[in-house]
Amino acid sequence: MAIESDLYQALLKKTGWSAATLSRKANALWRDHGPMTPDEARYIIAHEHGIDLRKYGHPTGESRQGTNAEGIGCDPHSSIFS
């Protein structure tokens, strides 16, 4: 599953980060909370920054297969990127 281009661009615009900075943040999330794919890390980051993943056609909630924020020990209601 590759992160959709429009979601990726929205995340870069919302955060003001470069692609390299986003990659470092995703790698840090994986390192600190893994295992997850780089795309899963980017989805978590997008969620942390208030981007509605449903707007981009991403399945959320119980229909979501694989890793989720609660499953990797993250509190989805707190900011881990302050």
**3-class secondary structure per residue, the chain:** CCCCHHHHHHHHHHHCCCHHHHHHHHHHHHHHHCCCCHHHHHHHHHHHCCCCHHHHCCCCHHHCCCCCCHHHCCCCCCCCCC
Is 42 within the bounds of a domain? yes
Q: Which residue has the higher pLDDT, 58 or 31?
A: 31
pLDDT at residue 19 is higher than 70: yes
Question: Domain for residue 64, yes or no?
Answer: yes
Number of domains in the chain: 1
53 is written with which tokens? 């993943």
Residue 77 lies in a domain: no
Q: What is the pLDDT of residue 46?
A: 93
Domain presence at residue 79: no
Answer with the residue of higher pLDDT: 35 or 57. Answer: 35
Domain annotation covers residue 63: yes
**Whole-number Å distance between alpha carbons of 64 and 68:** 8
Q: Let me know if residue 82 belongs to a domain.
A: no
Q: Is residue 78 in a domain?
A: no
Q: What is the domain range of residue 41?
A: 5-72
Does position 21 have pLDDT exceeding 90, yes or no?
yes
pTM, full prediction: 0.66
Angle at the Cα of 30 (from 76 to 43), degrees rounded to 5? Answer: 50
Residue 67 is assigned to a structural domain of this protein:
yes
